[in-house]
Amino acid sequence: MALTSETQTVEIALDERSYPILIGAGLLDHAASFDRAGAGSSALVVSNTTVAPLYAERLLRALQSRHASVRVLALPDGEQYKTWETLNLVFDDLLAHGADRKTVLYALGGGVVGDMTGFAAASYMRGVPFVQVPTTLLAQVDSSVGGKTAINHPLGKNMIGAFYQPQVVVCDLDVLKTLPPRELSAGLAEVIKYGPIADMAFLDWIEANVDALRACDRTALAHAVRRSCEIKAHVVGQDERESGLRAILNFGHTFGHAIEAGMGYGAWLHGEAVGAGMVMAAELSRELGRVDTAFVQRLTALIDRAGLPTRGAVIDPVDNAGRYLDLMRVDKKAEGGDIRFVVIDGPGRAAVCAAPDALVRQVIDRCT
């Protein structure tokens, strides 16, 4: 079956590791969506206990013409399970069923499933093909695109992983209908992110369409996913392994990771932590003289309208700012103990820079 004419494609250009992102309605049901997956005789769909009952059966049916043997493995659901122990369930399953180097892994789920399946694919027999089938807005606009895979360590988020690109990313907009409102809002945090760092016209558009997005309007979602993927593709195409530019995609994430780690993984959704983290990073940008108060207020208002927290969590009642600083010092962008912050360097433009601890403490105290 051919893909419908409404399917849109965004290309990630990385030489021999290039691949398309397909965006459209009902893609999950079409074998043609997975033409780029690889021709291995066996495949494993890795999902979680929430998503598998909703969509695994349909994906299996679409894949049966592609692979002689396809199975589903449902992992426990939640950021707190993004661990080596859970990852090992994938390796156990692959080895118990004699999976070989051509076995294709399909990640059917949100960011946690995508990150773990991608790292499993990068590491199993030193690399097997994999496909991203993101089922959350956050995964469709951000985590499934660009080849970052990882698991968490008790001392830091995404500390153990690989840069490993999928064969194709298949974003079925219809699956977003079953997403809980809280998760949809969390995804909007990563959509909003692309505005201040790269495209103020897109920020205007989000402001005009945030209600339609929260109502799951398919046309609005299609545009948000496509434009987000275009911006991400442009950045990743220039800096696959985050040696420079790519770090700007982590706007709000340095503060956000501290919230997630400080509260215990899973207490705040990643997108919620990024929402509050963007307010803190915008406030820091203002303190550094890069943007004005109106800009911070505008971004804060939009984050609020998206249904996201605009204040960071109190993660230590005695020395809250100190605890944030400790956790941020193990951020992957840190160098020699110096935290590197992504700041807005003027509307639509981001930069990475250091900041005095005292100033960062002020921002944390004001924003939590």
Read off the tokens for 289: 């003289």
332 touching a copy of itself, by CB under 8 A: yes
Catalytic residue, candidates 227, 270, 332, 340: 270
C-alpha pair distances (Å), 339 with each of 246, 247, 258, 336, 356: 16, 13, 12, 9, 10
| Catalytic residue flag (residue 190) | yes
15 touching a copy of itself, by CB under 8 A: no
Residue number, 121 or 210, with CB nearest to a copy of itself: 121
257 touching a copy of itself, by CB under 8 A: no
Stretch touching a copy of itself by CB under 8 A, among 73-81, 98-106, 292-300, 314-322: 98-106
Q: Which of 1, 13, 54, 95 binds a copy of itself (CB under 8 A)?
A: 95
From the list 145, 204, 210, the residue with the least C-alpha distance to 348 is 204
From the list 143, 76, 63, 138, the residue with the least C-alpha distance to 105 is 63
| Catalytic residue flag (residue 253) | yes
| Catalytic residue flag (residue 17) | no
Q: Which of 330, 351, 352, 353 binds a copy of itself (CB under 8 A)?
A: 330
Read off the tokens for 126: 């030193």
Report whether 328 contacts 258 (CB < 8 A). yes
CA atoms of 167 and 103, how far apart (whole Å): 13
From the list 163, 165, 231, the residue with the least C-alpha distance to 193 is 231
**For a copy of itself, how many residues bind (rule: CB under 8 A)?**
38
CA atoms of 178 and 74, how far apart (whole Å): 18
Mapping DSSP to helix (H, G, I), strand (E, B) and coil, where does residue 128 land?
A: coil
| Catalytic residue flag (residue 153) | no
Mapping DSSP to helix (H, G, I), strand (E, B) and coil, where does residue 187 land?
A: helix
Contacts of a copy of itself in 102-131 (CB under 8 A): 102, 122-127
88 touching a copy of itself, by CB under 8 A: yes
60 touching a copy of itself, by CB under 8 A: no
User: Is residue 149 marked as binding?
Assistant: no
| Catalytic residue flag (residue 234) | no
User: Is residue 136 marked as binding?
Assistant: yes
Contacts of a copy of itself in 137-156 (CB under 8 A): 148-150, 153, 155-156
| Catalytic residue flag (residue 209) | no
Specify burial of residue 71 (Cβ count, 10 A radius: 0-12, 13-18, 19+). Answer: middle
User: Is residue 183 marked as binding?
Assistant: no
Catalytic residue, candidates 30, 148, 227, 298: 148
Catalytic residue, candidates 246, 286, 323, 332: 246
Per-residue binding string, a copy of itself, 18-57, x by CB under 8 A, is -----------------------xx---------------
* Single-letter code of the amino acid located at 66: R
CA atoms of 87 and 81, how far apart (whole Å): 9
DSSP lists the bridge partners of residue 350 as 344
Residues marked active site are found at 126, 148, 190, 232, 242, 246, 250, 253, 257, 270
Residues that bind a copy of itself (CB under 8 A): 41-42, 84, 88, 91-92, 95-96, 98, 100-102, 122-127, 148-150, 153, 155-156, 159-163, 241-242, 329-330, 332, 334-337
